């Protein structure tokens, strides 16, 4: 009889859960929430702009890079990406700061600028958006440079929060 009880005890724990198991699951659940991208206005603007390229058959890559550009503090910022020959890419950067001027440049692995098609939005009072389209002839590592400055309308030169997404086809 004693042996049967010992065999049933582990089964009860499996069915009901071990003591403290709920706490561990809550901790994992809250840790996953921290790991998810934080929605920002810059991200919304970048995804909205990249969405226009979906109409042309592009797919938005499920990654997003965010940062802050400050005058004289390490700008431009660079993102290393692997691009493939035969594909076409659009990199889109956006900021909720209307007085900002964002610039995107694409460089090859040796640091030389890559010929790209540039697009800038006309100021409409809803942030700043810019895009660079590139079709690499060689597969490999490339660098996307993001630079930005505030216009003279913003004498405080406050930092520019931005988000960068890209599409491919």
Q: Specify the higher pLDDT residue, 9 or 43.
A: 43
Domain around 11: 2-35
Answer yes or no: do 49 and 128 share one domain: yes
Answer yes or no: do 127 and 98 share one domain: yes
Count of structural domains, the chain = 2
Answer yes or no: do 13 and 80 share one domain: no
Nearest to 162 by CA among 54, 45, 73: 45
Q: CA torsion sign, 5 to 10 to 11 to 15? A: positive
Kindly report the pTM of this predicted structure: 0.71
pLDDT confidence bin for 164, thresholds 50/70/90: very high
Answer yes or no: do 8 and 66 share one domain: no
What's the rounded mean pLDDT across residues 113-126?
Answer: 80
Burial state string for 118-146 with b = 16 or more CB within 10 A and e = fewer than 16? ebeeeeeeebbbbbbbbebeeeeebbbbb
Answer yes or no: do 45 and 105 share one domain: yes
Answer yes or no: do 160 and 121 share one domain: yes
> Which residues neighbour 141 within 8 Å (Cβ) at sequence distance 6 or greater?
80, 81, 82, 109
pLDDT at 158: 72
User: What are the structure tokens assigned to 131, written together?
Assistant: 């895009």
pLDDT confidence bin for 22, thresholds 50/70/90: very low
Q: Which pLDDT tens digit goes with each residue over 67-111? A: 888 766 656 889 999 999 999 999 999 988 877 788 899 999 999
Answer yes or no: do 126 and 60 share one domain: yes
């Amino acid at each position: 009889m004693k042996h049967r009880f010992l065999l049933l005890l582990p089964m009860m724990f499996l069915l009901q859960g071990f003591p403290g198991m709920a706490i561990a699951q809550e901790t994992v659940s809250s840790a996953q929430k921290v790991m998810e991208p934080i929605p920002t206005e810059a991200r919304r603007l970048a995804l909205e702009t990249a969405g226009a390229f979906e109409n042309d058959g592009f797919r938005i890559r499920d990654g997003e890079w965010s940062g802050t550009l400050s005058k004289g503090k390490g700008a431009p910022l660079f993102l290393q990406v692997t691009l493939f020959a035969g594909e076409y890419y659009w990199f889109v950067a956006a900021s909720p700061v209307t007085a900002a001027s964002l610039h995107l440049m694409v460089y090859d692995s040796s640091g030389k600028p890559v010929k790209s098609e540039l697009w800038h939005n006309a100021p409409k009072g809803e942030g700043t958006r810019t895009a660079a389209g590139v079709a690499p002839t060689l597969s490999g590592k490339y660098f996307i440079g993001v630079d930005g400055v505030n216009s003279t309308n913003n004498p405080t030169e406050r930092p520019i929060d931005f988000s960068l997404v890209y599409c491919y086809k």
